A and B are shown apart, each in its own frame.
Chain A
């Protein structure tokens, strides 16, 4: 059974950066896309971007272009999401999620991480 385990909560100052990790257990890490989805307090779900580890080229949502970097480390089956130039509006729960089907960037998500709360406050 695949599991995604994310890094712990973060508190950041405005203007700084945060890097969240998502470690996958189980087989086939390279062939399943990992997406990052965020949820501001009391709000809905917003896709930030995704990556298929075996191909390595991330795809980002328009809203986050220039501020987000998604990467993977195949040796540890870990995906990363780094968000820079943080502002208060970036305070949210950040989830990683695995696309169920292989070698496609966009799909439905059968496995989610537990979420990482990022708080941006001066």
Chain B
């Protein structure tokens, strides 16, 4: 099974500052047949289900603000929030969907400093 590891576990950033969350997979998520990385990012706020932010490692879901950016390839991926807003306080998860079973990282909590 592919294991997903996020870092850091939590981070505190000032309003308007950049937040960077890393996600590492135990094997490559790049499918040679379609040159896509099978990696998604979700945001979860208290009492809510996860919300899809990014898929195929860098494609923003419709309606997601452009301050959220996904990057990376192979085994190393990054979610960047370019200018953190108060409403971005949440836990962020990466998820691979390269094969079965899919798996999530342990989550990264983003707080305001």
Interface size counted on chain A using CB atoms at 8 A: 23
Binary per-residue interface labels of chain B (68-112) against chain A in the complex, 1 for a CB within 8 Å, 0 otherwise: 000000000000000000000000010101111111111100000
Place the interface of chain B in its size category.
20 to 34
- CA distance in complex: A59, B95 (Å): 18
Per-position binary interface string of chain B over residues 37-63, scored 1 when its CB falls under 8 Å from any chain A CB and 0 otherwise: 000101000000111100100000100
- The reply to whether B95 and A108 form a contact with Cβ atoms under 8 Å apart is yes
CB-nearest residue of chain A relative to B47?
A: A115
Contact A62 B97 (CB under 8 A): no
Query: What's the count of A-B pairs with C-beta under 8 Å?
Result: 56
13 A-B contact pairs sorted by A residue (CB < 8 Å): A45-B50, A45-B107, A47-B103, A59-B100, A59-B101, A106-B99, A107-B102, A108-B52, A108-B55, A108-B95, A109-B40, A109-B50, A110-B55
| A112 and B49 form a contact (CB under 8 A) | yes
A interface, CB within 8 angstroms of B: 35, 37, 44-47, 50, 59, 61-62, 95, 97, 100, 105-110, 112-115
CB pair A95–B101 under 8 Å, yes or no, is no
Q: Give Cα A108 to B42, complex, Å.
A: 10
CB distance from B29 to the nearest CB of A (A): 12
CA distance A114 to B44 in the complex (A): 12
B100 contact from A44, A106, A108, Cβ within 8 A: A106
Assess the B105–A108 pair: CB atoms within 8 A: no
**A44 touching B49 in the complex, CB below 8 Å, given contacts A108-B40, A108-B55, A110-B61:** no
